[in-house]
Structure 1
């Protein structure tokens, strides 16, 4: 705010006087941080209950008589703004001051602490205690008010709420441009691309259901906001996290804008090529470990159905053979199984404003086809079907497989391309050692699709039988020698020298799984010989116990 705006605001607050969302203090430099935290909790909770966007704690104003007297609280700017971190560390859930305004009033220095309203359904505590206001007094948050906040209906769409302090300057230019292109593509048969690209920004945002009468909403910021605009959504972290688990571990957080960063997260996933050898064939079928469309469908579903008032992040965990997608909130309508066949349309959404905007930008559909398309996509790739886990309260977890579980199942899909989805669902459960209804057992057995006795059913050997020597599922496409040579060179640059055992440890798990251990060792021997002959490395040890170093 400008000094003039701050002065006008201060005059309005003084004229109104102290109430449930306004508190005046003279406050010297030794004013207790704990007291500030208690007022923060009280004013935030009361702002929520009174549907106000914020509360105000004002230093440098005496209440009786009500006048500006000035305050020397934390004169140094960096000390003053460190209060934000102190507040965030001791509030639950973690939330902090929206802004700290300093006004050099003619009668003295005034500090206006702008306190955000508690999120709908979530009261704010300071060091484990909830506070409220009784007129001008700070008191404990009573059970009646605590219940009122906690029982606030979810019918209020968090994603539709207007952020009055946000402007068009808070939007990411590239995200806006890509959003225009996506919108134009969706409506290409009705509106020319040139027309869409030439609309004023405010017009486009309204037409794409991202804003309300030109006003920025939480949906606008979630999908198109700049990274630094995330504070408008506090205390929600507005974040997706990619996490790699296994022999190697890594992670990366992705914030706003979600419209661009879902693709950025997908690009972090190790999406190698796999080769599947069909029965009695010499040429393998190549498929990518993960299909981009399926991964983005799953990630976009997490965004659309996330329960944002729970202040959690979306997590994508990459394991060696599968991806796990997790988002906050129960499955909102029905159960995942009801959407697999593609004939159920949801009647309502947790975040209707957000889902409508995402549909306008071609991120999702609103007919309930997303789960059906993911299942069909996995069938076409001969991979296991996704698994949903709803056991964890207030959360949904979905596993997307990136490899073969049972070779017989995959070969079954290759050979019998006309299997109905209901049969494939049952066969998928069989390969995962899960139970199926007795009537389905009878159906599959009659069709000759399964064998064995209950509960040890398996895919029929009559169709998928093949000698073990022909089963060759290659987890990674073999790299050329230059790739492996570079690994050796990089190792020697870092450590100076390496024994044959150390080089084996470096390369063995990088080589194609199509090779057995003996073939892998031969491959490494040939690689080292070629590198020595080309003058890249030298053996400073013996022939029996070589020690490899980079050639000078």
Structure 2
């Protein structure tokens, strides 16, 4: 620990008790992430209200100010990353300015934009207020929030187009080129599928779209199972 950090710690330990901008936590080997988020938010808000430059959440110290040490994120870079992992303060302030939200809702929406899992309580509250859309675990911020936080493009990327859009796209591309392979169709649709989908989900979605067109008698595979060659059977 450098001399500046030692001086700050000694000053905090010499306080008569914890206060609105200083919290001590033993955190011997770890600490609950949800609680950390709440402490970060509360301490930051109090520091702003009191016009303080800093607030302190000190690990490895008991409530009685006894120093016991902590193995929670011993590497400095991992500890520093907590601020970004727990709460994006710029995003939180933007939400606070544009929405009538509670602190817990701000923290939960920050989780959504970072694609962190929500608790059942978070999910229930955000859904009840219409602040999120999508299905568990792939929630994304609702249109009303996106429009007020400059995230319109992100919202549109997350919200899937209806199936007919994708079906028409496949048919028009086949008509233009005469035939398409599965790889061609994947490349055609990949970047147009919602951002929340992972590789497996995108593969499954494209497969389902092809199957829907095949069952409707719109396209047919004139190739093989391993190397399909999809052609149109009906004009589009």
TM-score range, shorter chain: 0.3 to 0.5
Structure richer in strand, relative to its length: 1
Which fold has the larger relative contact order, with Cα–Cα distance below 8 Å and residues 6 or more apart in sequence?
2
Structure richer in helix, relative to its length: 2
TM-score, structure 1 length as denominator?
A: 0.20
Q: Mark the structure with the bigger radius of gyration.
A: 1
TM-score, structure 2 length as denominator?
A: 0.37
